[in-house]
Amino acid sequence: MTDHFPARMHDVTDETRAIVDLVLDYSRQRLLAVDTPLDKPLPPAELRRLTGRTIDADGIGARKAIGVFEHILAPSCISTDDPRYLSFIPSAPSKAAAAFDVVVSASALYGGSWLEGAGAVHAENEVLRWLADEFGLPQTAGGVFVQGGTLGNLSALVAAREAARARFDERTDERADERAGANDGADDGAGATDAAARGIRPDRWRVVCSAEAHSSIASAARVMDVEVVAVPVGSDGVLRGDAVRAALDEHGDSVFAVVATAGSTNFGIVDDIASVAEVARERGVWLHVDGAYGLAAILSDRTRSLFRGVELADSVIVDPHKWLFAPFDACALIYRDPAQARRAHTQHAEYLDTLTVTDDWSPSDYAVHLTRRPRGLPLWFSLATYGTDVYRAAITRTIDLAQRIADEIARRPGVSLVRRPQLGVVVFEREGWQAADYARWSSDLLERQHAFVTPSSHAGRTNVRFALLNPRTTFDDLTGILDTMF
Ligand SMILES: Cc1ncc(COP(=O)(O)O)c(C=O)c1O
């Protein structure tokens, strides 16, 4: 007979102890497993059949529920930390970071305000400071960890538009003052101010980025109801200042932000941030650097110089859940002048006044969110545990591996590089294959649990992409996959 005593869920009892043991035992075993299977998804009907109904009025009990997770649900999720997971952007959390995520959940931490989470926010800010120093941003820079690059880009662009609006409003006020001075004594009232405002505010805001920028920029633009000016790039995929200048000439004051991509998703190509920054500065336009995937490579001496100009950004993102070895999900969003972001993002409500009337640093004030877990803590713990040098070494190792496999592809008959890699994404074609051949090969690889490599495309031609970032991926893993194409 099930006990419906309400505090059963919260009191520390023998049942509670057994539940916690089950969950921690499973977590321990998964974290320490040497060889986890790659796994693959099952169709919905099959999952329904295997799990049966798991939610009813009485519950099925922790032992049965964790059994369902371990034997049915988990094997139906691809292990993104598998060294032969090479699709999209993989994830390879360090053991310290992944383990500490359990602590974050266990500790009932709230990361939205300084009042409630000062200790956690302090540690997150130390990580953000370290990143800001690596990027060369000023001491005044600061920000927040948000859920992912999509939300980071949106939050940065919202702050940028708010700053542009404020600049227009200031100019409008100055014009109105000038008119009032000129018309001293004439009674044209507020109408003059309105007309001036109508005269200079753009009817449509625009954001300029490369045609190869991540889809989240277009998504942010849709949410914000602004237009994307996608600037075409040359065959090397790099956005440069000249192309941005032409776009700004065409669209004038309606452009509130320019986005430079520090490592495109499809190719890992880094825009010429320095020349883009120069144009943005010259025109007084906000520069946002989307380094969600690639900016981590600034930590390696091999690639640091590719990111010249990032120190001039008004806002910048990098996702620790990608190449900084943190678990899902975390994006570090940093502003050059956090006060501008705070003006754009602080939520005001009577019950929140106690938080927002102070000068305390509350992470909720810097992005499109309110409640938040301190998702930067796993990265903090991992950095504190291992130090930063091993991060540099792990990233450098991947960059070297990408170069080595690119050389191998260039050398092998029957396959050819689409572009020479700059970071850890290697894109190539198999001679004579059509889209259906790539699709068949890819599902067969997963079916045989050999690797997870999905097709991509460029300029209408299907190709295949090795997205490398897991330090456990070896050259032999990659040549073994190439061998399966013949
Ligand atoms: C360059 C770039 N920007 C933004 C994003 C979006 O990040 P997220 O998937 O964390 O929302 C990605 C994701 O791959 C990316 O590569």
Q: Report the pLDDT value the prediction gives residue 192, as an integer from 0 to 100.
A: 36
pLDDT for residue 194 is more than 50: no
E strands within 291-433?
Answer: 315-318, 331-335, 415-419, 425-430
What's the pTM value of the predicted model, to 2 decimals?
Answer: 0.95
Number of neighbouring beta carbons within 10 Å of residue 12? 8
Label residue 190 by pLDDT band (50, 70, 90).
Answer: very low
Q: Mean pLDDT score of the chain, rounded to an integer?
A: 94
In this structure, which residue's CA is closest to atom 4 in ligand 1?
A: 149
For ligand 1, the distance from its centroid to the CA atom of residue 153, given in whole angstroms, is 9
Label residue 195 by pLDDT band (50, 70, 90).
Answer: very low
Q: Report the pLDDT value the prediction gives residue 378, as an integer from 0 to 100.
A: 98
More confident residue, 181 or 392: 392
244 CB within 6 A, ligand 1 = no
Phi, psi at 33, each rounded to 5°: -65, 135
214 CB within 6 A, ligand 1 = yes
149 CB within 6 A, ligand 1 = yes
Sign of CA dihedral 426, 430, 433, 438: negative
Q: Report the pLDDT value the prediction gives residue 467, as an integer from 0 to 100.
A: 98
Identify the H or E element spanning 53. Answer: none
pLDDT for residue 230 is more than 50: yes
What are the pLDDT digits (tens) for 108-146?
Answer: 999 999 999 999 999 999 999 999 999 999 999 999 999
- Mean pLDDT score, 182-200: 48
411 exposed, middle or buried (CB, 10 Å; 0-12, 13-18, 19+)? exposed
Going by the DSSP 8-state scheme, the letter that residue 262 receives in this structure is B
334 CB within 6 A, ligand 1 = no
Label residue 2 by pLDDT band (50, 70, 90).
Answer: low
Nearest-atom number in ligand 1 for the CA of 265 is 16
Label residue 1 by pLDDT band (50, 70, 90).
Answer: low
Label residue 297 by pLDDT band (50, 70, 90).
Answer: very high
Rounded Cα distance between 373 and 145, Å, is 9
Residue among 264, 232, 260, 257 at smallest CA distance from 246: 232
Number of neighbouring beta carbons within 10 Å of residue 252? 10
- Mean pLDDT score, 458-482: 97
For ligand 1, the distance from its centroid to the CA atom of residue 322, given in whole angstroms, is 9
In this structure, which residue's CA is closest to atom 16 in ligand 1?
A: 265
Going by the DSSP 8-state scheme, the letter that residue 46 receives in this structure is H
319 CB within 6 A, ligand 1 = yes
What are the pLDDT digits (tens) for 136-186?
Answer: 999 999 999 999 999 999 999 999 999 999 988 887 777 777 777 776 644
More confident residue, 57 or 190: 57
Label residue 336 by pLDDT band (50, 70, 90).
Answer: very high
Nearest-atom number in ligand 1 for the CA of 150 is 11
Q: Report the pLDDT value the prediction gives residue 353, as an integer from 0 to 100.
A: 85
For ligand 1, the distance from its centroid to the CA atom of residue 413, given in whole angstroms, is 33
365 CB within 6 A, ligand 1 = no
What are the pLDDT digits (tens) for 24-55?
Answer: 999 999 999 998 999 999 999 999 999 999 99
pLDDT for residue 193 is more than 60: no
List the structure tokens of 216.
């989240």
Listed range (207-211, 255-259, 347-351) with the worst mean pLDDT: 347-351
C-alpha triplet 98, 100, 103: angle, nearest 5°: 130
333 CB within 6 A, ligand 1 = no
